[in-house]
Amino acid sequence: MARGYDVSEVKFRLIKLLRDSETGISGVEISERLGINRVTMTKYLNVFSAQGVIAEKNVGNVNLWFVHEGIEQFQFPDDYFRVQEKYLEYVIKYSDFQVNNLIRSCINSDVNVTKLMTEVVLPAIPQVQKYFDEGKIGKAEEQLMKSIISKSIHLVDLEIKNPKNEKNVIIISADSQSILEAEAASTAYHSNDWNIFFLGDMSSSIDILFDLELIKLLSKIWKSKQGLMIVAVFSETEEGLKFFSESFYSVKGKNDENLHLILSGKVGKKIKLKSDLQTEKLEDIIQWSETKFENI
């Protein structure tokens, strides 16, 4: 995207401009009224259209832009609870369209992405599991709901970011049950300008050769060992966390002071697993990572 403009500010001004118009506005007029040259404005319009924020319609011989149907305005932090209720309601109704519009509305309202994940998206996951455990929904319905949640998480990743070479994170799910939490973490890191290396469900790689695979991966994506590299593991089981912890520390060398491990999952009080941070709270994971980066 062109330099010299803040994407969030351009989006905010554009939405306000289009909302004030009942008939739509042409790209040329938008460019003039926002004071952005036509070529650059066209790039913004195409990106925001791909994100589902705005829509283009042909009216006569003119192409006019409108705010996408269903886009709302929220005030955060006051509206987190209201959005959380709407999100779960739409997921339960299998309304992909409404879920996505709700997420787009949050983004357009300048939401904190980490808070969006922790206050809105993540609370819906155990609710879906609860409905399944209680027999209120079947496996197919559970999978559909989780798919809708997953797509809404990835929708946030469409936001334009400029990752820093010094901020690197490998994200691993030790089982299929933790994949949504891992995806939410990936999106939260993305919003904070981290380079994301998302491995997804690595349960099939739990074997004696994984440490060799990890060495090979690090040698390619962090060969210069510039900046910070974090490996974040999400798991529903102690066994999954234990395996990846042991693999990590068999790989980490004495001079790898900027290579760190985060474990996220439930662990019994008597279980001691080696890591740099162990928590189930996504906000704590992001805050710890940012602090580590600032201190390198």
pLDDT in tens, 14-43: 888 888 787 889 999 999 999 999 999 999
235 or 270, greater pLDDT: 235
pLDDT reading at 106 higher than 80: yes
Radius of gyration of the chain (CA): 22
Among candidates 48, 63, 57, 58, which has minimal Cα distance to 12?
A: 48
- Token look-up 């985060």 returns 262
Distances (CA, A) of 158 to 75, 151, 164, 177, 201: 22, 11, 17, 24, 22
Among candidates 49, 48, 126, 43, which has minimal Cα distance to 91?
A: 126
Rounded percentage of the chain residues whose pLDDT exceeds 90:
69
Q: Which domains occur in the chain, in start order?
A: 7-67 (1.10.10.10), 80-156 (1.10.1240.10), 167-294 (3.40.50.280)
- Where does the pLDDT of residue 2 fall: very low under 50, low under 70, confident under 90, or very high at 90 and above? very low
Give all strands of the β-sheet with 277-278 in edge-to-edge order: 195-201, 167-173, 228-234, 259-264, 277-278
Tokens of 95: 């309304």
Q: Is residue 276 classed as helix, strand or coil in its secondary structure?
A: coil
- The number of residues in the chain equals 296
Q: Cβ of 223: how many Cβ atoms within 10 Å?
A: 8
Q: Average pLDDT of the chain?
A: 91
pLDDT reading at 122 higher than 60: yes
In this prediction the pTM is 0.81
Tokens of 227: 């900046």
| pLDDT tens digits along 133-190 | 999 999 999 999 999 999 999 998 877 678 888 999 999 999 999 999 999 999 999 9
pLDDT reading at 117 higher than 90: yes
